[in-house]
Amino acid sequence: MRGHAARKRFGQNFLVDAHYVTKIVDAIDPRPGDNLVEIGPGLAALTGRLIERAGRIHAIEIDRDLAARLAADYSPEDLALHVADALAFDYASLGPRLRVVGNLPYNISSPLLFRLAEYETQLVDLHVMLQKEVVARMTAQPATPDYGRLSVMLQAAFRVTRLFVVPPGAFQPVPRVDSAIARLVPLGAAKPRIADAAHFTRIVAAAFGQRRKTMRNAMASICDAAALSAAGIDPGARGETLAVADFVRLANALAGKAGP
């Protein structure tokens, strides 16, 4: 791996298989002039190909040793390098119509997706590689085992599609899990109106705080059974059986109201 020892604290597993590099870049389909940012370029398996197709791109890399390699290999005219933590980075600083690409570290994948969702009005799309089980949760439908908080929060803002699986052998070091590529496209005008985003987040988190708990019990600190019924939610239903639209309707009905 060009003399670089993968660092566990950064969750580093580097893509090395040329077949999957081509497949991923083709799925992203970068075009000249795209406002493209790569999160965690690592050993630059994708970076050069993205630059070839899109022209100058941004890259966010937390590992200073890898950042130094990138700075040595690519000119500032081709690569705008940001040595930063992707979880804390201000994506608004990169301008509008942002296309995000990343082999996301498994240990921060959900928090990073929530962080990126904060900028959904500036995004054209996201193409991210994650643990296959995480992508299953992102794309899951109600009343299926993988459906949960991540499903609802992302599907309330994006159309989420699993594109293909990337096997462990495509990486060094070899991870113990399969990975998958997911595409997230902001819903735009089709996005449901959410009166209070923080309240919506609180309700979804409560509903999935303990699986198989009825909504009556899960929402006890937020509202009573009568309020659930008034919003068209069966108090005896479990959170994992409710659609995204049900959570939106409940959150909007309770917006601005005190607890039970």
The pLDDT, as a whole number, for residue 79 is: 97
What is this structure's pTM? 0.91
Domains by residue range for the chain, with CATH: 8-190 (3.40.50.150), 197-254 (1.10.8.100)
Q: What percent of the chain has pLDDT over 90?
A: 82
Q: Find all residues with CB under 8 Å of 136, minimum gap 6, and list them.
A: 146, 162, 180
Q: Which of 15-29, 99-113, 189-203 is the least confident region?
A: 99-113
Residues 32-58 pLDDT 10s:
999 999 999 988 999 999 999 999 999
Residues 111-166 pLDDT 10s:
999 999 999 999 999 999 999 999 999 999 999 999 999 999 999 999 999 999 99
Q: Which helix (H) or strand (E) holds 247?
A: helix 244-254
What the block records as the tokens of 193 is 């109106």
The pLDDT, as a whole number, for residue 106 is: 79
Which residues in 127-141 are b (16+ Cβ under 10 Å) and which e?
A: bbbbbbebbbbbbbe
The pLDDT, as a whole number, for residue 199 is: 94
Mean pLDDT of the region 226-235 = 96
For residue 86, which of 70, 103, 72 has the smallest C-alpha distance?
Answer: 103
Residues 53-91 pLDDT 10s:
999 999 999 989 899 999 999 999 999 999 999 999 999
The pLDDT, as a whole number, for residue 6 is: 44
